[in-house]
């Protein structure tokens, strides 16, 4: 793992946008594995600004998101599809037929998981995967477990994950208890991974992920086995 230390969220976002921009400059039709949450929002804003300023051309890329809540449709304002449109794609007029996200309303969820894995394979795999990390060490919604789950699957969300995400919902009880998530297999098969970490509440998980045992109870620890991971972390996230 390569670690880039930055001062704060702004610098993390700046650096992340620059690195992702380099990948797209080299390969205009890159398949980008994308994440939701507060962490990547600043990076998305900068990428959209660069595109709109003519410094970067994002129109040829494909977006493949990590996860989606089950039971919420893509036009619901708390869905991750809506999040991506609002915080990234709409900022630069992206053709959203190039944006892929699991369908949390699919009638047959196991079939939807298979469809998503087949789609990633058909796209040729992920060139660059952007990841955040949960306080519990999750990546995507790969929650702490006894085993690493390879394929896209239905995840039962940890109580800690639901508590962390409650800030977006009117009532904590409204946070869905299940989601569809890309598995560890597609993430680890990405050619390059960018892990973004900001804030003291992530410090312990980051330390354990980088230096602890490789253990499915801390899913991000698997990243130690990937040959091309860049961690961009700010001072608060590196305080442990
Ligand atoms: P956050 O979420 O960016 O909102 O902190 C990250 C995650 O849970 O993976």
Q: How far is it, in rounded angstroms, from Cα 97 to Cα 74?
A: 13
What integer pLDDT is reported at residue 50 of this predicted model?
98
In a domain, 125, yes or no: yes
92: left (phi over 0), alpha (psi -120 to 50) or beta: alpha
Give the mutation target among 39, 137, 202 for probing the ligand 1 site: most ligand atoms within 8 A of CB.
Answer: 39
What integer pLDDT is reported at residue 204 of this predicted model?
98
Residue among 1, 2, 13, 19 at smallest CA distance from 197: 13
pLDDT of 83-128, one tens digit each? Answer: 999 999 999 999 999 999 999 999 999 999 999 999 999 999 999 9
Ligand 1 centroid to 83 CA: how many Å? Answer: 13
Let me know if 192 is a catalytic residue: no
Give the mutation target among 133, 182, 234 for probing the ligand 1 site: most ligand atoms within 8 A of CB.
Answer: 133
Q: Is 210 within 8 Å of 173 (Cβ atoms)?
A: no
Ligand 1 centroid to 120 CA: how many Å? Answer: 22
In a domain, 211, yes or no: no
Range of 146's domain? 2-180+187-193
Rg of the chain, C-alpha, whole Å: 16
Ligand 1 environment, Cβ below 6 A: 37-39, 132-134
Please name the residue whose Cα sits nearest to atom 4 of ligand 1.
Answer: 37
Look up the CATH number of the domain holding residue 160: 3.40.50.1360
In a domain, 78, yes or no: yes
pLDDT of 54-75, one tens digit each? Answer: 999 999 999 999 999 999 999 9
In a domain, 238, yes or no: no
In a domain, 206, yes or no: no
DSSP code, position 218: S
């Amino acid at each position: 793992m390569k670690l880039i230390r930055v001062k704060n969220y702004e610098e993390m976002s700046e650096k992340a946008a620059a690195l992702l921009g380099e990948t797209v400059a080299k390969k205009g039709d890159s398949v980008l594995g994308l994440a939701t949450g507060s962490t990547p929002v600043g990076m998305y804003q900068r990428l959209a600004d660069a595109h709109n300023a003519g410094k970067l051309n994002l129109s040829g890329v494909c977006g493949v998101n990590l996860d989606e809540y089950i039971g919420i449709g893509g036009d619901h304002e708390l869905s991750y599809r809506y999040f991506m449109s609002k915080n990234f794609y709409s900022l630069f007029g992206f053709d959203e037929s190039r944006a892929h996200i699991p369908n949390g309303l699919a009638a047959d969820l196991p079939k939807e998981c298979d469809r998503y894995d087949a789609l990633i394979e058909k796209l040729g795999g992920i060139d660059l995967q952007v990841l955040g990390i949960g306080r519990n060490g999750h990546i995507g919604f790969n929650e702490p477990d006894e085993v690493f789950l390879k394929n896209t699957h239905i995840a039962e969300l940890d109580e800690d994950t639901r508590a962390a995400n409650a800030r977006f919902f009117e009532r904590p009880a409204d946070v869905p208890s299940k989601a569809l998530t890309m598995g560890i297999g597609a993430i680890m098969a990405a050619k390059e991974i960018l892990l973004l970490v900001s804030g003291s509440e992530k410090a312990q998980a980051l330390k354990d992920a980088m230096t602890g045992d490789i253990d499915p109870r801390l899913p991000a620890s698997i990243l130690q086995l990937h040959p091309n991971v860049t961690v961009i972390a700010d001072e608060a996230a590196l305080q442990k």
